[in-house]
Structure 1
């Protein structure tokens, strides 16, 4: 029986993992623009929250148009549709605050509309704030212009021309991760919308397949484990876009800065433990391979000698061991061979950076993402 190490040493899946982060998703757009020039093909594109939307556009671009161009068109449409009267000469921090207030008050006609602008659909509870605060049905219509959901139907082809899409959400009732995989189900717009219900910003849950779905970032903002679990055989080269800085030299000076830093820590890339585990698994698999070859050689040697009851018992035991070995090494033996991280640095810090859809900020984020990805890719050569 061929081992996983023998069979797949030269088979490698290329994976792109996109985080959630609201308007910071424009940075991922810029990153993908650069990646598209360097990486021939992604086998899997995974994401959660806004990363799920970006991933859907990348994997199923409508009319087979250029995915990076179409993704940028999507982000520029979101930005330009606000049309807020915010002066361009303001500092980044001030512009972000004003843009967030404007969007929270008037919404974004291509993505979300405040419920108070639709009084007939707004229910006020006896106590507390109403929920949800925003209607995101406009986002469904916008996505239909960029995503061909026919391409996200369950796959029959074992070697598809388009990447496999894996997106994640959170089951509101059970607190469990819910994974949608284009290799297993027909993914539609409601699956994608189910990945972006972020309660802290007043975005409601989406009901799909009998579940109430919230944003996948509530459990994991970097769905690498979900990729490994969904594709457990082939080894991986992984590109991760980290929107929330892991390291910050300065200590927060006020409550807003403290909240900002706490959010970074909550949603930053924490996949180092996955990589360490993968390296340990790699060592175990190498040891298993050596032991497997030794035992196989021993069994074959015994087969050439006189057959007795002990040899028969050993062969039966070996058959059972062989089955378990196959499960571990062949069916669940994926190893992370390499990770390329593109890290977003913060030129200025703001608690509202992920809610700023102003034209100026979106364009800056796209340019920054493209620039940072270029540097990371050149360094990784």
Structure 2
């Protein structure tokens, strides 16, 4: 019997996916990108993110009202601090705002635990900032009950299990997700942000394993073709060589967190060719009366179904929207000054418009034709 490729329960010819990276205050750029995508009436079947990208994804998929872009912008303007003067240069503003955040925290995002007796033994502290304020702020802009509606976009957020060192994935199709699960993806230990305990698991930021959770999307929905939008907060290329240690750390951080999905796509092409070969071999065996050993052939048939049918979709297109960077400052992702947040939102809007219009030649990548010959 010929095996037909089963259809996923998602509607349409393909799923439209938005993948959002982590990057602290740089997440305001993702807000601007999404404003443009919503303006162009692009609707998503899956929104995936990690760290601040997971928080943005939660507001997009589970916003309290029916205007996710408005919700998201209001959230970011709430996080913005208004103490740092807006007239200062971008570099000075970033330095002052990040220093203020490191000392005083951000009342809507994270609170320092400085003034405690344990401060006398600084290195006994497992973290320096409590992330509870961010959880409370997130609750103001979300209604997680919306995720139960099958017509609602699917939310996927990733975090890292401290003890096992493995990825922990929360998927609204399979899990009940609330603010606690989303916040679990945002505990970045290098900035001293607290972990989150869910059941018996202690969870850190998902960026420790991957800052672009495309593979997690593929694994979550392996049978449906996809058109993917990726927002890249960390530039691939920087022409200038670092001039000092701070710039070296900054560039290394960019490289660690930038989009690395090219490897995933290359591997999907290799796997697709292998699946095509397996299918041809299966059809030859099935049609040539070589299946005299019924038991062995039924096992082969089952394994063929798992390999070739249950993972039989293609990535049709990836559109990358990448933040440009004029000033290289190590703690730019801790700059919550109102001027910077507004500028990031504007930059995201403009870059997304350019990507959709085809003006950014690096943004639009056709991964395959619509023929079923490049499966993942």
Report the equivalent of 2:336: 357
The secondary structure found in structure 1 opposite 2:292 is helix
Q: With structure 1 as the length reference, what TM-score do the two structures score?
A: 0.88
Report the equivalent of 2:70: 69
Report the equivalent of 2:373: none
Report the equivalent of 2:103: 105
Please state how far the C-alpha of 1:131 moved relative to its aligned partner.
3.7
Comparing 271-280 with 34-43, greater Cα deviation is found at 34-43
Report the equivalent of 1:51: 53
Residues 351 and 312 from structure 1, CA distance in 2 versus in 1: closer, same or farther, beyond 3 angstroms?
A: closer
Residues 321 and 367 from structure 1, CA distance in 2 versus in 1: closer, same or farther, beyond 3 angstroms?
A: same
- Between the aligned partners of 1:234 and 1:125, the Cα distance in structure 2 is 55
- Between the aligned partners of 1:254 and 1:364, the Cα distance in structure 2 is 27
Matches within 5 A, 1:1-381: 1-4=2-5, 11-38=13-40, 40-62=42-64, 64-79=65-80, 82-84=81-83, 86-116=84-114, 119=115, 123-124=118-119, 126=121, 128=123, 130-152=125-147, 155=148, 160-299=150-289, 313=292, 315-379=294-358, 380=364
Structure 1 unmatched runs, 5+: 300-310
Residues 312 and 108 from structure 1, CA distance in 2 versus in 1: closer, same or farther, beyond 3 angstroms?
A: closer
Please state how far the C-alpha of 1:212 moved relative to its aligned partner.
0.8
Is this contact kept in 1: 2:228–2:318, CA < 8 A? yes
Q: In terms of Rg, which structure is larger?
A: 1
Please state how far the C-alpha of 1:316 moved relative to its aligned partner.
4.7
- Between the aligned partners of 1:226 and 1:73, the Cα distance in structure 2 is 29
- Between the aligned partners of 1:7 and 1:181, the Cα distance in structure 2 is 20
- Between the aligned partners of 1:187 and 1:217, the Cα distance in structure 2 is 19
Comparing 286-295 with 223-232, greater Cα deviation is found at 286-295
Please state how far the C-alpha of 1:312 moved relative to its aligned partner.
6.3
- Between the aligned partners of 1:312 and 1:20, the Cα distance in structure 2 is 52
Please state how far the C-alpha of 1:39 moved relative to its aligned partner.
5.1
Please state how far the C-alpha of 1:163 moved relative to its aligned partner.
0.8
Q: Let me know the Cα RMSD of the aligned residues.
A: 2.1
Please state how far the C-alpha of 1:293 moved relative to its aligned partner.
3.6
Please state how far the C-alpha of 1:317 moved relative to its aligned partner.
4.2
Q: With structure 2 as the length reference, what TM-score do the two structures score?
A: 0.89
Q: Deviations for 1:228-257, whole angstroms, at most 9, x for unmatched residues?
A: 112222122111111111111110000110
